[in-house]
A and B are shown apart, each in its own frame.
Chain A
Amino acid sequence: MSTYILMKILESAPSRYDRGIRILSLGKLNKIYDRLTAPIKAGQRVLDIGCGTGALTLRAAQKGAKVKGIDVNAQMLEIARQRADAANLTQNIEFCEMGVAELGSEAPGRYDVVMSGLCFSELTEDELVYTLKAVKRLLKPGGLLLIADEVSPGNPFKKILSGLIRFPLVIATFLITQTTTHAVRHLPERIEDAGLTIESVKLNKLENFIELAAKNPEEVAK
């Protein structure tokens, strides 16, 4: 019976999540994630915040990195585990059901890379501030923060345009995946405020999707 329940569970929102996101990003998300994980090297320790069904986690593990994927959604993690299993990557991956508020329990300077795809836009304001502080603490000196997410355009005209285009997409996203997002404002500035230096920023034409890499500066000699 447990398998039956599991099947039923998978029939609900998380199973549609991957497909839904793929449709809504018009297939671009795969390429974006490939680009985002390009700097990851074999043997590195990587943390995936809000790993969901494991899109970024699996990519990093394929490159030989040791990845920890955290998410608050048990069902998403269930699918992520199955995918890791199918790809024969379980020895490189650890999935944990935990939220960003529990990052305080991780040892400082533990990770070479912290990455996050479409998660920051689901966080509350307080969580975002807390997460950026935690990331700064968890990264080794010289470690990288990689983010792909929805952001609010700085240009007022593009902001209005983006809002108009987003509105039907937000409704469609909610119907398919039952998650809502709110585009993050001033993300690069806030990452710098947390003490990281921006390495590269790539915005799409509408300036509402960001691919960002930031570095934890090497400790300055006293």
Chain B
Amino acid sequence: MNWLKYVIVTLVETLLRGFPFPCKTGLIKIGNPGRDAPVFLTCNFQLTVERVKRALKGMDAYLLVANSRGINVWCSSTGGLLTNHDAISVLKTSGIEDVVDHKTVILPQLAATGIEMKVVLKKTGWRVVWGPVYAKDIPVFMEKHLVKTPEMRQVRFTWDQRIEMAVMWAFPFSAIAALITIPFWRAMALPLISIILVLPFLIFLSFPLYSHWLNPKKKGTSFSKYTVLFDFGRIPLIIWGFFLLGMVLFGLRADVLSWEFMLRWGIASFVVILLINIDLMGSTPVYKSGLHEDRFLKIVLDENKCKGAGFCEQVCPKNCYEVDNVRHLAAMPRADQCVQCGACIVQCPFDALYFRNPKGDVILPETIRRFKLNLLGKRFVKVA
């Protein structure tokens, strides 16, 4: 029965990936855990919980499901929906303290943008260990006695994830198009639905071919600066205008010009423009969303404060850091890979890291810890 639930959850929640799917929070037993069994913590996005349970299969462990409002670990932590309070709450109220003799909890690495190990330790006495990014690496991580390889720390955008993201855009939007066109404009239904179904797959599957040229630092109207909901820029609109003009000319020459003809081609081409303007980079784990002006921020390392504790290296999902254990100093040899998630700043015990915007203003760790990022920009910083 468990595999059936897994299949159904995977199917439904992949099709509707953009929506929250909260499941029950609290304590889950995996196998036959004893009093020294490892304790893992995850979010309450149902798909995540099912996947973590699958990854832990064969182990004897406890899984704590914290209240992330049904949203995945990275988005909820970075957006302020999976916080210290949620971690503290599940540790104190789930009854885990009554069933194990130790106080070490393994957290997903991507929760490091929202949950501070220092605060959790102070308020509950629980020591946080940052686990791998992907649940499937947990068994190897355990075999290696809680040591992560650089590969386990890095987010990737593999073909299966790219298909998931394509489905996330293709399914709901084609369903809406079907609901509108089938009853009211049957002639338009097939072309429109197929465009909306096929285009996201083309965009995401061919991602490695063009991702090299995407520039998240670019200002102004770029390929994917804003989503359709906000402002999709002038250039696509100008291109659209030229396309419509071309259609009028074509219609006149071929003698097929009519309102119906223009409306159909107008809407079809507009949908194409909307789809390729969808916040493409924001749907990938390897680029910052064009919606967040945070993408202009730079991480600054204060070498006077750094003591080489290495938490930055442990939590960076892009492997930007390297720690010199002789000089006790961190460095950012791959700073260009940074996605401004802020995990390193949040976790640094010496406040040695902070953001700086292009104007030169400093955003202190204190601010970054308190005010998280979300679509409406709780940590929004205006830049020049």
Contact = CB atoms under 8 A, between A and B. Distances in A.
B88 A101 contact: yes
Interface in A1-47: 1-2, 4-5, 8-9, 11-13
A109 interface: no
Contact of B25 (A2, A72, A124): A124
A182 B70 CA distance: 13
B378 A12 contact: yes
Contacts of A4: 382
B367 A126 contact: no
Question: Helix, strand, loop or mixed for chain B's interface?
Answer: loop
B380 A8 contact: yes
A101 B93 contact: yes
* Interface size of B as a range: 20 to 34
A146 B69 CA distance: 26
Interface stretch (B200-208, B229-237, B329-337, B368-376): B368-376
Q: Which of B361, B371, B377, B382 has the most A CB atoms < 10 Å from its CB?
A: B371
Contacts of B376: 11-13, 178
Interface residues of A, number: 26
Interface string A164-177: 00000000000000
Contacts of B380: 5, 8-9, 11-12
B60 to A, nearest CB: 22
Contact of A8 (B67, B374, B382): B382
A71 B378 CA distance: 17
A74 B370 contact: yes
Interface in B4-35: 24-26
B370 A125 contact: no
A5 B89 contact: no
B382 A100 contact: no
Contacts of B371: 5, 9, 74-75
A160 to B, nearest CB: 22
A126 B123 contact: no
A201 interface: no
11 contacts: A1-B361, A5-B371, A8-B382, A11-B380, A13-B378, A101-B91, A102-B88, A102-B123, A125-B25, A126-B89, A127-B93
Given A12-B374, A126-B93, A129-B93, 7 more contacts: A5-B379, A11-B377, A12-B377, A12-B380, A101-B93, A124-B26, A124-B93
